[in-house]
């Protein structure tokens, strides 16, 4: 099985070697998968649940990338490539631009079920890959890869990275039934799945491109601010314009702290995001048991 620091090819890929996973590793996957299954009903957005169903990523154990790539490629033209861990930014962007999703192969240890700072196979496959089955989101991710290469050339990686963080990793989406999760960093975390929707403390603000790109983020704790889109088409359309002038504009403005609110923010209040009754009761029960 792939470990960080192991040898990799010049394109940073490795072999998944699916047959080499130990029973214990499959069991860890099952534990994580079943726990999220329970939590994500009524919390994950429908596009994610559809993607998960379509992929056939089941609770049985760690999936074989070859099979997943076949299903994914038939749906949206994306494939999974196995990598040992985080890859250099330019390599990562180039893969996305070619509709290749770099995924880690190793699974977290038993004492890391609730928290891990680096991505593992559960985060990459269960968190990211289901949404790549959605045509609009699939196009957004490719456009992001192209935008990443451009941002590197312009020296604005920091601004673009915040867009990825607050959408792909930690985004929320408004639906007629209430707020739902689409960010993979939330979807692969039991604690944050509950925190992001049920905890009254974090800010939930309508997505605004410039606001997002000015907002710093924390990598070591639950988010204090979530940005909410209406649908994936809105996200795709909002990010379509040339970012070069936008980068210049926001470079002249101060950064915004992760927990701060500014005058133009359009906040969601409890009434507009909550699932009346259910949310509150489940939130209490689950946070005590699982966070």
261 contacts 267 by C-beta, under 8 angstroms: yes
Least separation in angstroms between CB 36 and ligand PHE? 27
User: How many residues line the site for Fe ion (CB under 5 A)?
Assistant: 1
- Binding residues (CB under 6 A) for ligand PHE: these are 143-144, 147, 150, 163, 239-243
The token pair at 88 is: 């250099």
Q: Which of 101, 110, 17 is nearest to 62 (CA)?
A: 17
Least separation in angstroms between CB 157 and ligand PHE? 11
Q: Which option in ligand PHE, Fe ion, none does residue 280 bind, with CB closer than 5 to 8 A by kind?
A: none
Separation CA 253–CA 263 (nearest Å): 15
**Between residue 73 and residue 132, which ones bind Fe ion under the rule CB under 5 A?**
119
Least separation in angstroms between CB 204 and Fe ion? 21
Q: Which option in ligand PHE, Fe ion, none does residue 143 bind, with CB closer than 5 to 8 A by kind?
A: ligand PHE
Q: Which residue is nearest to ligand PHE (CB)?
A: 147
The token pair at 33 is: 């998968």
| DSSP H helices in the chain | 23-40, 46-55, 65-76, 89-97, 121, 135-154, 157-164, 184-187, 190-198, 209-214, 232-238, 243-251, 270-273, 278-290
Least separation in angstroms between CB 65 and ligand PHE? 25
- Between 147 and 202, whose beta carbon lies closer to ligand PHE? 147
Q: Under the rule (CB under 5 A), what is the footprint of Fe ion?
A: 119
């Amino acid at each position: 099985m792939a470990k960080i620091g192991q040898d990799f090819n010049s394109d940073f890929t490795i072999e998944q070697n699916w047959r080499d996973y130990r029973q214990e590793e499959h069991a860890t996957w099952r534990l994580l998968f079943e726990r999220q299954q329970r939590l994500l009903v009524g919390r994950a957005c429908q596009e994610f649940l559809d993607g998960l169903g379509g992929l056939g990523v089941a609770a049985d154990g760690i999936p074989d990338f070859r099979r997943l790539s076949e299903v994914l490629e038939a749906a949206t033209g994306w494939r999974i490539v196995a990598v040992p861990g985080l890859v250099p930014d330019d390599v990562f962007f180039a893969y996305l631009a070619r509709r290749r999703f770099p995924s880690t192969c190793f699974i977290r240890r038993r004492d890391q079920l609730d928290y891990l700072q680096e991505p593992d196979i559960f985060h990459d496959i269960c968190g990211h890959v289901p949404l790549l089955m959605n045509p609009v989101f699939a196009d957004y991710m490719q456009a992001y890869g192209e935008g990443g290469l451009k941002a590197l050339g312009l020296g604005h990686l920091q601004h673009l990275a915040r867009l990825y963080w607050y959408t792909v990793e930690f985004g929320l989406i408004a639906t007629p039934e209430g707020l739902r999760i689409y960010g993979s960093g939330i979807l692969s975390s039991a604690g944050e799945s509950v925190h992001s929707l049920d905890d009254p403390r974090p800010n939930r603000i309508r997505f605004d491109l410039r606001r997002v790109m000015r907002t710093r983020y924390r990598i070591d704790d639950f988010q204090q601010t979530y940005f909410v889109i209406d649908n994936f088409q809105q996200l795709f359309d909002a990010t379509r314009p040339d970012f070069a002038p936008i980068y210049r504009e926001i470079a002249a403005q101060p950064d915004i702290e992760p927990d701060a609110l500014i005058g133009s923010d359009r906040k969601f209040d409890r009434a507009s995001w909550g699932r009346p009754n259910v949310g509150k009761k489940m939130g209490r029960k689950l946070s005590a048991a699982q966070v």
